[in-house]
Amino acid sequence: MNSTTSLSGHEALLHVSGPDALKFLQGQTTCDIRNVGPSQAARGVYCTPQGRVICDFLLVELGQDHCALRLRREIREPTVAVLAKYSVFSKVMLEGEREDWLVAGVCGANAADTLGQLFGSVPRADLECIRGENFVLVQTGAAGDTFECFMAAESTWPAALENAFDSLSAECWRHREISAGSARIEAATLGEFVPQVLNYTLTGHISFNKGCYTGQEVVARLHYRGRSKRRSFAFQLPAGAEAKAGDAVFDRAGKQVGSVINSACCDGDSRLLAATGLDDVEADLRLGTADGAEFTMLDMPYLVEA
């Protein structure tokens, strides 16, 4: 089955435009903006000077001197507020209230074929994109079965996608993100973690070759000189158990050993990403208390190491 979901309910776009848009983002974020263009998107994060993650994003170029960061809607406003402190020194405009562009997720074994029929061509590699009139289509996974489409709200593309694909709930889309080991910053976790804890050094969000950016010294020092004692892992919860970002994770001895990053339930299957110590991940982990819902560890799609 091929499915599509409108991400605009829980995701939002932060528009960055102006002659200095790319230069500004290059100096603020962890990804190498020099690689971004009409055919290439990027994953990245924005950190505090102390190296704590404020937001994660997917960055696409919508047009000349015009980019958009796709991030969780609940953290768009605080992200704009922090970036605005630095934007006054550049010829750049930050727009955190625009809703004239939408984003939808598309997934499924035959999704690429259907998208190719709609848009004339389809990206064939992770983060590759095609840009046309009123749309940018991005492949967001190496398997080639997951895409995100950025579309002008008044264009015909939203209706075309809705007619071409079955619907998928936003909750099930988040469930897919967890299964892919993709940590997302929510309001409860904004500014709480360094990128290594959220596996961003393992998922292509961090460039160690681009030079300076806000928080770079802390992130680089931990990468080159230290060992991350905590990472994020995927777990399954028993039926009926509910978790939310920021919930504490305990071992059976009653010691708090981590916290929930994201959670979602799709078709009765509850999953979560939790940040925990490397020495604790295979312990008998519980949600909320030492006697809470028991975790079942799931395989991660990439190697997680210190």
The CATH number assigned to the domain holding 101 equals 3.30.1360.120
- Whether 110 is covered by a domain: the verdict is yes
Count of structural domains within the chain: 2
Structural domain boundaries enclosing 175:
3-179
pTM: 0.96
Q: Is the pLDDT of residue 129 over 80?
A: yes
277, 128: one domain: no
Last residue of a domain, one of 160, 179, 198: 179
- Per residue in 270-300, pLDDT tens? 999 999 999 999 899 999 999 999 999 999 9
Amino acid in position 207: S
Same domain as 259, residue 131: no
Q: Does 8 reside within a domain? A: yes
- In eight-state DSSP terms, residue 155 is S
**Is the same domain home to 156 and 256?**
no
Same-domain status, 174 and 238: no
Of the pLDDT bands very low, low, confident and very high (cuts 50, 70, 90), residue 225 is confident
- Residues 185, 53 contacting (CB under 8 angstroms): yes
Q: What is the CATH number of the domain that holds 259?
A: 2.40.30.110
Residues 248 and 120 in one domain: no
The pLDDT of residue 302: 96
Same domain, 45 and 157: yes
Q: How far is CA 255 from CA 106, 282, 286, 298, in A?
A: 40, 14, 10, 22
Q: What is the largest CA-CA distance in the chain?
A: 58
Give phi and psi for 45, each to the nearest 5. -140, 160
Could you tell me if 64 and 162 lie in one domain? yes
User: Helices 157-164 and 111-119: crossing angle, nearest 10°?
Assistant: 140
Distances (CA, A) of 120 to 1, 68, 104, 115: 21, 23, 18, 8
Among 179, 196, 218, which residue terminates a domain? 179
